[in-house]
Amino acid sequence: MLILTDRFEQALILANQLHANQVRKGVGTPYISHLLAVSSLVLENGGSENEVIAALLHDAVEDQGGKSTLELIRSEFGNEVAAIVSGCSDADTIPKPPWRERKEAYLKHLANASPSVRLVSVADKLHNARATLRDYQVLGEELWGRFTGGKDGTLWYFRSLVVVFSSFGFSPLLNEFIRVVAEIECIAGSGCPPVTCE
C-alpha cells in the first residue's frame, strides 16, 4: 500500500502556485483540476509517489517557466520526478515550436520513453480525451475552435497516441483511453473505428 508523504503535499502546493492563474481551455475551470485528475489516475493505477508527484507537475515546464521550472522541480523533488516531468513536456522554450512539429516530436519521444513517463502521459491524455468528449457533447463542432490543431489535428493526435501507447501492451488505463478516443471519433462524424484493446 502506498502511503503519500509530505513530499506529495509540497508538490500539490507548488502545482497550485505555479498554475494559480491558469484555466482549462474554453471552460475556465481552474487548471489545478486537471492536475489533480491526472495524479488521481496515476495513483489509482499503481503509480509510485514520484510518479504521482510528477503527474501533479507534468505541465509546469511547458506552461510555467520552461527549464528554470524544471530545475526548481529537480531541486525540490529529485532527479526521478524531474525526468518524468521533462519526459511529459513537449516544449521547454517560449515561444513554443509550431503545434504539429511539437506533437510529432512528442510522439517520437514516447516511443522510447520510460514506463513512468508513459504512465503519466497516458493518464494526462485520458483526462484530456474525457474532457474533449464531454465538451463536444455540449458544444458540438464549435468545440474544435479552441484547439490549435483544430478538429483534424486533434483527432490525428489522439489516434497517433493510441498507436504509440498500444505498442507497449495494454492496461486498464490505456484501454479506457482507446475507448474514449473511439467514442470521440464516432460522435464527431469520423466513423467508428473498432476498439482494439484487451
Q: What is the mean pLDDT of the chain?
A: 92
Give the pLDDT band of residue 198 (cuts 50, 70, 90).
very low
Is residue 92 within 8 Å of 70, Cβ to Cβ?
Answer: yes
Given a cut of 50, is residue 197 above it in pLDDT?
no
**Based on the number of CB atoms within 10 Å of its own CB, is 7 exposed (0-12), middle (13-18) or buried (19 or more)?**
middle
170, 194, 174: which is closest to 182 by C-alpha?
194
Give the pLDDT band of residue 189 (cuts 50, 70, 90).
confident
Which grid coordinates belong to 140? 458540438
Domain boundaries, the chain: 6-187
Query: What is the CATH number assigned to the segment(s) 6-187?
Result: 1.10.3210.10
**pTM of the predicted model, to two decimals?**
0.93
**pLDDT tens readout for residues 30-75:** 999 999 999 999 999 999 999 999 999 999 999 888 899 999 999 9
User: Of residues 51, 59, 62, 90, which has the active-site annotation?
Assistant: 62
For residue 179, the SS3 value is helix
Which grid coordinates belong to 162? 493510441
Q: Catalytic site residue 63? A: yes
Give the alpha-carbon dihedral of 76, 82, 84, 88, to 10 degrees.
Answer: 110
**pLDDT tens readout for residues 5-36:** 999 999 999 999 999 998 987 778 899 999 99
Alpha helices, DSSP H, located in the chain: 6-18, 32-44, 49-56, 60-63, 67-77, 79-87, 99-110, 115-139, 150-166, 172-187
pLDDT value, residue 95:
83
| CA atoms of 164 and 38, how far apart (whole Å) | 19
| CA atoms of 105 and 137, how far apart (whole Å) | 30
Given a cut of 60, is residue 194 above it in pLDDT?
no
pLDDT value, residue 193:
52
**pLDDT tens readout for residues 62-120:** 988 889 999 999 999 999 999 999 999 998 887 888 999 999 999 999 999 999 999 99
18, 38, 69: which is closest to 131 by C-alpha?
38
Mean predicted confidence (pLDDT) in 139-167: 95
Radius of gyration of the chain from its Cα atoms, rounded to whole angstroms: 16
Mean predicted confidence (pLDDT) in 146-150: 94
CA 103 and chain centroid, separation: 12
User: Of residues 63, 92, 135, 185, which has the active-site annotation?
Assistant: 63
